[in-house]
Amino acid sequence: MDYRIRTWPDKILKEPTKEVDFFDERLKEYIDKMWEFMYKEEGVGLAANQIGIPYQILVLDTTVREKRREEEKEDPVKMVLVNPKIVEKEGEVQSTEGCLSFPGVQITIPRAKRVKVVAKNEKGEDVVVESQEFLAIVLQHEIDHLNGIPFINYLSPLKRKLVLDKYLKSLKERELERA
Ligand code: CO
């Protein structure tokens, strides 16, 4: 497989990923690759389709952010979730987010304050995650990726167009620099 960070408008980011029914060496390889890319790119979380794997897998490590923002007092969490689904949502917060698939883009969008997620771990066992604050936001962002929903979808059409025009322009400039 051709593992590399997929950036918008790559079509793999627009399609829902498939459910995992293999808890074996192949899944382990996918997860290892995801950790590798997530740490290399200094992301807090990564959805499998962001490196070209079309399955419902996410990894996250909030210590990556803890290192940068020491004022955050929540306990750091590191986890792998397979086939994650949000089953409960509560409250609303404004969240300022970036995304490895949209280099240079940072936007503020509404997210639920608390979410409950059911999933499998890498061994295929059921797990339930009750989350709030930063962890809840990372989970919503990554699960959206797995459902083919980029974070720009939460902007109004006008704002989305402004953000995308600017992003695509910077993408083109970077390509020109490289050429
Ligand atoms: Co993202």
Active site residues: 142
Span from the CA of 98 to the centroid of ligand 1 (angstroms): 7
Token reading at 75: 């306990």
| Tens digits of residue pLDDT in 53-101 | 999 999 999 887 755 555 556 677 899 999 999 999 999 999 999 999 9
In this structure, are residues 142 and 79 in contact, taking their beta carbons and an 8 Å threshold?
A: no
pTM above 0.75, yes or no: yes
Non-local (6+) Cβ contacts of 127 within 8 A are: 81, 118, 119, 120, 121
Span from the CA of 144 to the centroid of ligand 1 (angstroms): 9
In this structure, are residues 150 and 99 in contact, taking their beta carbons and an 8 Å threshold?
A: yes
Distance between CA atoms of 85 and 44, rounded to whole angstroms? 19
Span from the CA of 32 to the centroid of ligand 1 (angstroms): 18
In this structure, are residues 53 and 22 in contact, taking their beta carbons and an 8 Å threshold?
A: no
Span from the CA of 109 to the centroid of ligand 1 (angstroms): 13
Using alpha carbons only, give the angle 15, 20, 25 rounded to the nearest 5 degrees. 125
- Between 2 and 33, residue with greater pLDDT: 33
Span from the CA of 93 to the centroid of ligand 1 (angstroms): 18
Q: In this model, does residue 106 exceed pLDDT 60? A: yes
Quote the pLDDT of residue 150.
97
DSSP-assigned states of every residue in 103-116 = TT-EEEEEE-SEEE
Q: What is the mean pLDDT of the chain?
A: 94
Span from the CA of 171 to the centroid of ligand 1 (angstroms): 17
Going along the chain from its start, the domains and CATH numbers come out as 11-178 (3.90.45.10)
Q: Where are the beta strands (DSSP E) in 26-177?
A: 45-47, 57-61, 78-90, 93-98, 106-111, 114-120, 126-132
Quote the pLDDT of residue 67.
58
| Tens digits of residue pLDDT in 68-79 | 555 556 677 899
Mean pLDDT across 117-132: 97
